[in-house]
Amino acid sequence: MLLEVQNLKVKYGSIEALHGISFNVKEGEIVTLIGANGAGKTTTLHTITRVPPPEGPKVCEGDILFKGKSILNLEPHEVVHKLHIGLAPEGRHIFGNLTVEENLKLATYARNDDSKIKEDYKLVYRLFPRLYERRKQRSESLSGGEQQMLAVGRALMTGANFLLLDEPSMGLAPLLMYEMFRALKELNQKEGITILLIEQNALLALQFAHRGYVLDTGEIVLSGTSEELLNNPEVKKAYLGG
Ligand SMILES: Nc1ncnc2c1ncn2[C@@H]1O[C@H](COP(=O)(O)OP(=O)(O)OP(=O)(O)O)[C@@H](O)[C@H]1O
Ligand SMILES: [Mg+2]
């Protein structure tokens, strides 16, 4: 098992955001965690990537295992550079005053595998030709969708082979959304990149992932293959508009 979240309870101060959730991701899979606003999706990703308190979530029970070993004692940079987990965060957090190229370059600072870095640039620009066209452009002048692509590209440039994506469809027009998910599928199928996808757009997520979990106010209430979830009456009613 690549990632195993076990009975995870997480608090912000006195507010418990996750009430003991368990799920797993195997190597090569696309797994989605779907849920409404405030369900605890971002909290889950921030706990895995070890965003520290006080702003970050604090684990009070449970464990997170990566290849069988607990990662709760790791620092955020160790999660990125030792485990090769890349986060494309909610709200993107790219450096607006830097160009596309500079944002990508910055993500490689801790790497010394120069030939692989070159390949990764090629990969990112092949996946997202728009980023190549706009590589000299300041990132703040990109459209929301292009910034989202840059956030994914940047996660790849850290050398990640496991991507955590926080609502990559957020705010995207249908055409860009399609481009984004086509690129992500290619990453999974051709490059063997494992993906944990957090989404509010359940239909999109379940069409794309192999399997999924439904997170409802801090609890996992359902799980199954994407097909099972798409056909589940409760999922249909609550997340797919009936
Ligand atoms: N830094 C924080 N301090 C205090 N409470 C927080 C913090 N971040 C999140 N929360 C609370 O934890 C709960 C889960 O929030 P989280 O951001 O994980 O939800 P989400 O599923 O990502 O929602 P959205 O779809 O709106 O992004 C919410 O009740 C939220 O108010
Ligand atoms: Mg969120």
Phi-psi region of 218 (alpha: psi -120 to 50; beta: other; left: phi over 0): left
Q: Give the Å distance between the CA of 85 and the centre of ligand 2.
A: 18
Pocket test for ligand 1, best of 42, 55, 60, 215 (most atoms within 8 A of CB): 42
Query: How far apart are alpha carbons 53 and 64 in whole angstroms?
Result: 17
Domain range holding 102? 3-239
Query: How far apart are alpha carbons 101 and 124 in whole angstroms?
Result: 11
Query: How far apart are alpha carbons 189 and 187 in whole angstroms?
Result: 6
Pocket test for ligand 1, best of 8, 10, 11, 15 (most atoms within 8 A of CB): 15
Report the CATH number that the domain containing residue 34 is assigned in CATH: 3.40.50.300
Query: CB of 86 within 8 A of CB of 155?
Result: yes
pLDDT in tens, the chain (242 residues): 999 999 999 999 999 999 999 999 999 999 999 999 999 999 999 999 998 887 789 999 999 999 999 999 999 999 999 999 999 988 778 899 999 999 999 999 999 999 999 999 999 999 999 999 999 999 999 988 899 999 999 999 999 999 999 999 888 888 888 889 999 999 999 999 999 999 988 999 999 999 999 999 999 999 999 999 999 999 998 888 76
Residue nearest to atom 29 of ligand 1 (CA): 38
Residue nearest to atom 27 of ligand 1 (CA): 37
pLDDT at 242: 67
pLDDT at 182: 93
Number of domains in the chain: 1
Give the three-state DSSP class for 78. Answer: helix
pLDDT at 224: 98
pLDDT at 96: 92
Cis status, amide bond into 168, omega within 30 of 0 = no
Ligand 2 (ion): which residues have CB within 5 A?
Answer: 41-42, 90
- For residue 218 and ligand 1, the question of a CB distance below 6 A is answered with no
- Name the nearest CA neighbour of 194 among 64, 67, 11: 67
- Sign (positive or negative) of CA dihedral 204, 131, 151, 81: positive
- For residue 195 and ligand 1, the question of a CB distance below 6 A is answered with no
| DSSP tag of 140 | G
Amino acid at position 160, single letter:
A
- For residue 55 and ligand 1, the question of a CB distance below 6 A is answered with yes
